[in-house]
Amino acid sequence: MSAIPLTNMESGKKGKVIEIQGGRGLIARLSAMGVRPGIKITKISGQIMRGPVIVRVGNTQIAIGFGMASRVIVEV
Amino acid sequence: MIKKVLLMGNPNVGKSVIFSRLTGVKLIASNYPGTTVEFCQGCIGSGAEKIEVVDAPGTYSLEPTSPAEEVAVAMLDRAIAAKDSIVVNVIDATNLERNLNLTLQLLKKDIPVLIALNLWDEAKHIGITIDAESLERKLGIPVVPTVAITGEGINVLVSRLDQARCGEYDFVDDERWHEVGRIVDQVQTIKHKHHTIGERLGDLTIHPWTGIPIALLVVAVLFFIIRLIGEGLISLVTDPFFNNIWAPLMMKLSAVLVPGSFIHKIIIGQLIDGSIDFGQSFGILTTGLYVPFGAVLPYIFAFYLALSVLEDTGYLPRLAVLLDNALHIIGLHGMAIIPMLLACGCNVPGVMATRILETKRERFIAATLMSISIPCMAQTAMIFGLLGKHGLRGLLPVFVTLFAVWLITGNIFRVAVKGESPEIFTEIPPYRLPHLPTMMKKVWMRIYWFTHDAVPFVLLGVFFVNLLYAFGVIPLIGKLVGPLTARVFGLPFEAIGALLIGFFRKDLAVGMLAPLGLNIKQLVIACVMLTMSFPCIATFAVLLKELGVLDMIKAAIVMLASAFFVGGLLNLIL
Per-residue model confidence as pLDDT tens digits over B210-263: 999 999 999 999 999 999 999 999 999 999 999 999 999 999 999 999 998 999
As a whole number of Å, the end-to-end CA separation of chain B is 70
Q: What is the pLDDT of residue B412?
A: 96
| Eight-state DSSP code of residue B534 | -
Angstrom distance (rounded) from CA B347 to CA B349: 6
So what's the ipTM on this one?
0.96
Taking the CA of residue B334 and the nearest CA in chain A, the distance in Å comes to 9
Among chain A residues, the shortest Cα distance to B425 is held by A64
- Domain range enclosing B88: 4-190
CA angle, corner B303, sides to B301 and B307, nearest 5? 120
Predicted confidence band of residue B559 (pLDDT cuts 50, 70, 90): very high
**What is the rounded radius of gyration, in angstroms, for the C-alpha atoms of chain B?**
27
Pairwise CB contact (< 8 Å): A31 & B426: no
Between chain A and chain B, how many beta carbons pairs sit less than 8 Å apart? Answer: 92
Give the residue on A whose Cα is nearest the Cα of B208: A47
Question: For chain B, how many structural domains are there in total?
Answer: 2
Of A46, A59, A64, the CB nearest to B94: A59
pLDDT band at B141 (very low <50, low <70, confident <90, very high): very high
Q: How close, in Å, is residue A4 to chain B by CA atoms?
A: 20
Whether residue B428 and residue A52 make contact (CB cut-off 8 A), yes or no, is: no
Considering its fold, how many domains does chain A have in total?
1
Task: Look at residue B504 in the predicted model and tell me its pLDDT.
Answer: 87
* Any domain includes B200: no
pLDDT of B27:
83
Question: Taking a C-beta distance cutoff of 8 angstroms, is the pair B384, B227 a contact?
Answer: yes
Q: What is the dihedral sign for C-alpha B255, B259, B265, B268?
A: positive
> What's the pLDDT score for residue B201?
81
Does one domain contain both B114 and B228? Answer: no
The residues pairing with B86 across neighbouring beta strands, listed in sequence order, are: B5
A49-63, B110-124, B489-503: least confidently modelled range:
B489-503
Judged by CB atoms closer than 8 Å, whether chains meet at B126 and A59 is answered as yes
Question: Is B490 among the domain residues?
Answer: yes
Select from B161, B190, B219 the last residue of a domain: B190
Q: What does the mean pLDDT of chain B come to?
A: 92
Q: What's the first-to-final CA gap in chain A, in angstroms?
A: 6
| Residue range B482-509: mean pLDDT, rounded | 89
Question: In this structure, are strands B4-9 and B51-55 parallel, antiparallel, or unpaired?
Answer: parallel
The beta strands (E) that lie in B119-230 are given as 128-130, 143-145, 188-190
Which residues does chain A have within 8 Å of residue B99's beta carbon, measured at their own beta carbons? none
Give the one of A34, A47, A54 whose C-beta lies nearest to B428's C-beta.
Answer: A54
Structural domain boundaries, residue A31: 3-75
Inter-chain CB proximity A63 and B60 less than 8 Å: no
Cα–Cα nearest to A46, from A1, A3, A6, A4 = A6
For B174-186, how does the pLDDT look when each residue is reduced to its tens digit (9 = 90+)?
888 889 999 999 9
* pTM for this entry: 0.92
Classify residue B238: in a domain, yes or no.
yes
**Whether residue B564 sits in one domain with residue B534:** yes
Amino acid at B164: A
Q: For residue A20, list chain B residues with Cβ-Cβ distance below 8 A.
A: none
Q: Which helix (H) or strand (E) holds A18?
A: strand A14-20
Average pLDDT over residues B390-402: 94
B334–chain A Cβ distance below 8 A for any pair: yes
In which region does residue B472 sit, left (phi positive, over 0), alpha (psi from -120 to 50) or beta (all else)? left
- Could you tell me if residue B102 is inside a domain? yes
How many whole angstroms separate alpha carbon A38 and alpha carbon B520? 64
Whole-number Å distance between alpha carbons of B533 and B499: 8
Mutate to test the interface with B, among A20, A24, A61 (most CBs of B within 10 A): A61
Euclidean distance between CA atoms B389 and B509, whole angstroms: 19
What would the mean pLDDT of A3-32 be, rounded to a whole number? 92
User: How many other C-beta atoms can be found within 10 angstroms of the C-beta atom of residue B364?
Assistant: 23
* Residue B33 burial (CB count, 10 A): 23
Residues B290, B462 contacting (CB under 8 angstroms):
no
| Residue B201 placed within a domain | no
Cβ-nearest to A51 among B95, B203, B325? B325
**For B534-556, what is each residue's pLDDT tens digit?**
899 999 999 999 999 999 999 99
Instruction: Kindly state whether residue B447 falls inside one of the protein's structural domains.
Output: yes
Residues B341 and B293 in one domain: yes
**B123 and B130 in contact (C-beta within 8 Å)?**
yes
The DSSP element (H or E) to which B398 belongs, if any, is helix B392-416
The yes-or-no verdict on residue B46 having pLDDT over 70 is no
Phi, psi for residue B39 in degrees, rounded to 5: -90, 155
Whether A32 and chain B come into contact, CB under 8 Å, resolves to: yes
Q: Which of residues 249-288 of B touch A (CB under 8 A)?
A: none
Question: Do residue B35 and residue B63 come from a single domain?
Answer: yes
d(CA B211, nearest CA chain A) in Å: 10
Assess whether pLDDT exceeds 90 at residue B482.
no
Q: Which residue of B has its CA nearest to A27?
A: B63
CB B376 within 8 A of CB B344: yes
Q: Cβ(B223)–Cβ(B215) under 8 Å?
A: no
* B443, B561: one domain: yes
B179 touches A: beta carbon within 8 Å: no
DSSP letter (8 states) at residue B431: P
Are B416 and B517 part of one and the same domain? yes
Inter-residue contact B132 to B118 (CB < 8 Å): no
Cβ-based contacts of B324 with chain A (< 8 Å)? 47, 51-52, 63, 65
Q: Are B13 and B58 in contact (CB under 8 A)?
A: yes
B469, exposed or middle or buried, with CB in 10 Å at 0-12, 13-18, 19+?
middle
What whole-number distance in Å separates Cα of residue B69 and Cα of residue B38? 9
Residue B272 domain-assigned (yes or no): yes
Which of residues B162, B190, B218 is at a domain's end?
A: B190
CA distances from A66 to A63, A72, B333 (A): 9, 10, 11
Across the interface, whether the CB atoms of B428 and A67 are under 8 A apart is answered no
Query: What is the pLDDT of chain A when averaged over all its residues?
Result: 92
Residues B522 and B565 in one domain: yes
The pLDDT, as a whole number, for residue B474 is: 81
Q: Decide if B203 and A63 are in contact by the 8 Å CB cutoff.
A: no
Q: Considering only alpha carbons, which residue of chain A is nearest residue B318?
A: A63
State whether residue B359 sits within 8 Å of chain A by CB: no
List the single best residue of A47, A56, A62, A71 to mutate versus B (max B Cβ within 10 A): A47
Assigned domain for B198 exists: no
Band the pLDDT of B315: cuts 50, 70, 90.
Answer: very high
Q: Which residues of B442-457 are buried (b: 16+ CB within 10 A; e: fewer)?
A: bbeebeebbeeebbeb
- Which has the closest alpha carbon to A73: A35, A20, A32? A20
Q: A32, B426: Cβ pair inside 8 Å?
A: no
| pLDDT of B192 above 90 | no
Q: Are residues B443 and B344 in the same domain?
A: yes
Q: State whether B183 and B301 are in the same domain.
A: no
- Do residues B327 and B452 both lie within one domain? yes
The answer to whether B31 touches B428, Cβ cutoff 8 Å, is: no
Nearest to B495 by CA among B526, B473, B517: B526
Q: How large a percentage of chain B has pLDDT more than 70?
A: 99
Backbone angles phi, psi at B360, to 5 degrees: -65, -35
* Helix-strand-coil split of chain B, %, nearest 5: 65, 10, 25
Most confident range, picked from B36-40, B200-204, B243-247: B243-247
Task: List, as ranges, residues 483-512 from B with C-beta within 8 Å of A.
Answer: none
Quick one: what percent of chain B has pLDDT higher than 90? 74
The span from the CA of B316 to the CA of B236, in Å, is 32
Contact (CB, 8 A) for B57 and A22:
no
Determine the distance from the C-alpha atom of residue B339 to the mean position of all C-alpha atoms in its chain, rounded to a whole number.
Answer: 7
pLDDT at B167: 77
Residue B378 near residue B454, CB atoms below 8 Å: yes
Taking an 8 Å cut-off on Cβ atoms, the answer to whether B428 and A48 are in contact is: no
Phi, psi values for residue B411, rounded to 5°: -65, -40
User: Is the pLDDT at B194 greater than 70, yes or no?
Assistant: no
CATH number of the domain enclosing A34: 2.30.30.90
Name residue B51's beta-bridge partners: B44
Q: How many CA atoms lie within 13 A of B549 on its CB side?
A: 0
Tell me, what CATH number does B16's domain have? 3.40.50.300
